[in-house]
A and B are shown apart, each in its own frame.
Chain A
Amino acid sequence: MRWLERLIEKLLASSPPTYKGVLGVFYYVDDAAATVRDLRQAGHTGLSVYSPVPHHEIEVALDQGLSQVGWITFTGGVLGLTGGFALCIYSVLSYPLVVGGKELVSLPPFVVIGYESMILLAGLSNLLGMLALGRLPQLKARGPYDARFTEDRIGIWVPCAGEEAARVRETMRGHGAEEVKVHA
């Protein structure tokens, strides 16, 4: 079993650090938010912030805006609704079985199929939208990551190099970062 364990560890290991930048670890939310604001003002737009829970202060500092996943969900819902009705209507027209002279296309019972199909496709699109926009699944870390970010610490990663990295490091320290690591 040891060989299997080693194989899994190898598969999950992060790729060699080819990235360049600065990672700051913060405890206080307002420190992290102030750092994000200053870094953005200094022109760093590609920064990533990691945290165990979402923080409104950081959202505002990042000026993130709302998720667009709702539009993907809406599109899925419309497709599901039309697809559900289309399936019912196609099925009765392709093999007509007239019972008691009643209309083949009887919309009221088809509402149930259309409604459930709408919810099914909206839900599936919502999932796919969330995964696609959130860049998931991500089985290997794409940047420096620390297990403390799922506990109680906030991480700010700024891709940069050279003198820029030194300035970023100073900004982070100035705002009370507990730890700053430069990946050169």
Chain B
Amino acid sequence: MTEAALDPAAIRMEQETGHVPPPPVTPKTLNDQVLQMLESPGLGWLALLAFDLVVLLVGGLALRNQIVLGLGVAGYTRPVMWAAYITNFVFWVGIAHCGTLVSAILFLFRSFFRRAVYRVAEAMTVFGVLTAGLFPIVHTGRPWFAYWLFPYPTQRELWPNFRSPLEWDVFAVSTYLTISSIFFFVGIIPDAAVARDRAKNAFQKLFYTIFSFGWTGSQNQWKHFYGAYFYFAAIATPLVLSVHSVVSWDFAMAQLPGWHSTIFAPYFVAGAIFSGVALVINLLIMIRKAWKLHHLVTNNHLEKLAKLVLLTSTIVGYSYLVEFWSAWYGPSEAERDLFWWRATGHFWWAFWIMFTCNVIIPLSLWSKRIRTNPAILFVICLFVNVGMWFERFVIIVTSLAHSFAPGTWEVNYRMSWTEAAITAGAFAWFFMFFLVFLKVLPAFSIAEIKETLRAPLRGKPS
């Protein structure tokens, strides 16, 4: 019996929504169902990967164009010298937050529904950070000097400025990539052992032997595995909260209207979780449909994630309103002017896309009927991600376009095709990793789902 099958409410809900009641799951069928995803790819998967690689190629050509011709081909127009690339950076770091939330924070809170969804969320985290990490490098214009960001001894004894939020970012994002990758790969160890023991040829066996580190499932290994897993969760939780706070300080530490605000850290963290959970819902819905895993990822799981989207949407909506309130009530005329301009000026459309997608549309999730309807939920989560991309765009571009110097207010940023192609290429970069992940590593935690099955007991008195 699965977690869902053990939960009478989940069974009722499955029946009410018309899904076939979950078949009885045994350890063997669970192994088979998760490992069937690793079988030779079908036409659909190959076609998706081919399309993805074409988009990635276009993005790569645009990047080549920028490297050869210089940053002039990006749409930067003084004073808007941060635009699509930094928007993408913040967006992808935000996407990356869901994995650690689902795997670490919900693990510490003993929220068992995470077991069926956390591997997908963790994979999304690792690939999200890999995508985010590209953009500061793309934005420098001279990516071959990106290593200057890291502290290393030089002949001139010149060090990076550790008082700069941009240097904090280097530490925060690289730490996040390292820890979330370790967390992801450590979680895979027992499942890779399952795949190794069922490998169909020597290459598969070698591959999964490497990923499983030769795991045998001895009690000694389990003891240290769960000991370490607890500490990973314990250190990843403050890490996830710090990373987007540090990213928000890239802006909040500058004395620019629209950026210089103490609300930024919690506001960014809530926004990150909001967009990350929305994307993980999208991915889960697609995966369970493609591999017919409705009994592993039930509507009950999706509903619980939808509640997280609703919660974080209200925090994000509250933050938007508080920003306006602070501007209206506070002493800064420049701040007041900026916020009025943000909602009614040149970029009014971006602001209202953001507000509609992130605040108004998610209000529909108060309805249980909508939360438990995967098709509607999928569309709402798509809107959330569009809205969250625009949120970063609005914060970055409108604040720079309407700073202290009125003479620059008429200069308006327009995204160039190079930026658009690199942005699309980043999505392709992310999905390329994700598609490959689905075919080479178990996308669901076999061991943790197995723990929810009833342990076989003969019932002898001990």
Contacts and interface: CB of A to CB of B under 8 A. Distances in A.
A162 interface: no
Interface stretch (A17-25, A48-56, A165-173): A48-56
A161 interface: no
B450 interface: yes
Given A136-B214, A152-B27, A120 B225 contact: no
A77 B235 contact: yes
Interface residues of B, number: 70
B251 to A, nearest CB: 15
Contacts of B194: 52, 150-151
B331 interface: no
Contacts of A48: 218-220
Contacts, number: 216
Contacts of A88: 162
B224 A33 contact: no
Nearest to B27: A152
A31 to B, nearest CB: 6
Nearest to B164: A109
Interface residues of A, number: 76
B208 to A, nearest CB: 10
A34 interface: yes
Contacts of B151: 87, 91
A54 B163 CA distance: 46
B239 interface: yes
Interface in B212-257: 213-228, 231-232, 235-236, 238-239, 242, 246
5 contacts: A4-B202, A9-B202, A12-B209, A49-B219, A120-B174
Interface of B: 26-28, 31, 151, 157-160, 162-164, 167-168, 171-172, 174-175, 178-179, 182-183, 186, 189-190, 193-194, 197-198, 201-203, 205-206, 209-210, 213-228, 231-232, 235-236, 238-239, 242, 246, 447, 450-451, 455-460, 462
Interface of A: 4-6, 8-9, 11-12, 27-31, 33-34, 37, 48-55, 57-59, 62, 64, 66-70, 73, 77, 84, 87-88, 91-92, 94-95, 106, 109-110, 112-113, 115-117, 119-120, 122-124, 126-127, 129-131, 133-141, 145, 147, 149-152, 176
